[in-house]
Chain A
Amino acid sequence: DSGVTQTPKHLITATGQRVTLRCSPRSGDLSVYWYQQSLDQGLQFLIQYYNGEERAKGNILERFSAQQFPDLHSELNLSSLELGDSALYFCASSVAVTNTGELFFGEGSRLTVL
């Protein structure tokens, strides 16, 4: 158990809809990262938050947004969903004190868009 909690584990929705994925980081971790995992693209970095502030952006679509709340949990909002958004979405957290590269991943939220 990594200590990172993601909900929901599975989500099925229709095209054009909006969903919110939630992540609770490990106790004490200030950084939260969101990754998208698909069969053809592998693990793609979406966005990083550190202590409530956006720190880095990767290949995140404009239809997607995220935020980190004062209690450090984070939410990833996906809107105007398309079939191609079906993927596993992982949240990860880190201590962010030194650059060890170690991220602790949750078990992911599997999104299916029909």
Chain B
Amino acid sequence: QQQVKQSPQSLIVQKGGISIINCAYENTAFDYFPWYQQFPGKGPALLIAIRPDVSEKKEGRFTISFNKSAKQFSLHIMDSQPGDSATYFCAGVGAGSYQLTFGKGTKLSVIP
């Protein structure tokens, strides 16, 4: 049972453009939604995270938008750079748990 659905599977964006990755979750017990960034040959690393009592969180060029009623959240990367090329995973985790349930990932390629 896939509890976090992520789209698109891959994304190509021109340098300076906006990258948008969407996720939808099923488990209403989730109360923390992190995004992880993974470069080739490396493990995932936390990028940004949000709790459902907030509709938006911004850190630099990265913004999470959260829609609790629709059970959807998205990552926006503004002014995308070639260095942002990586695989991005959204995830959900329930209260009192560290069991991250990951989406299947989005491979982002930012072309010059």
Contact = CB atoms under 8 A, between A and B. Distances in A.
Interface of A: 2, 4, 31, 33, 41-45, 48, 56, 58, 90, 92, 94, 96, 99-108
A92 B44 CA distance: 9
B27 to A, nearest CB: 13
A28 to B, nearest CB: 15
A69 B37 CA distance: 30
Contacts of B101: 45
Contact of B44 (A56, A94, A105): A105
Interface of B: 31-34, 41-46, 49, 89, 91, 93, 95-105
16 contacts: A4-B43, A41-B104, A42-B89, A43-B102, A45-B99, A45-B100, A48-B99, A56-B98, A90-B43, A92-B43, A99-B95, A101-B32, A101-B34, A101-B49, A105-B45, A106-B43
B32 A103 contact: no
A99 B99 contact: no
Given A107-B42, A108-B43, A56 B34 contact: no
A106 B112 CA distance: 30
Contacts of B43: 2, 4, 90, 92, 105-108
B102 A99 contact: no
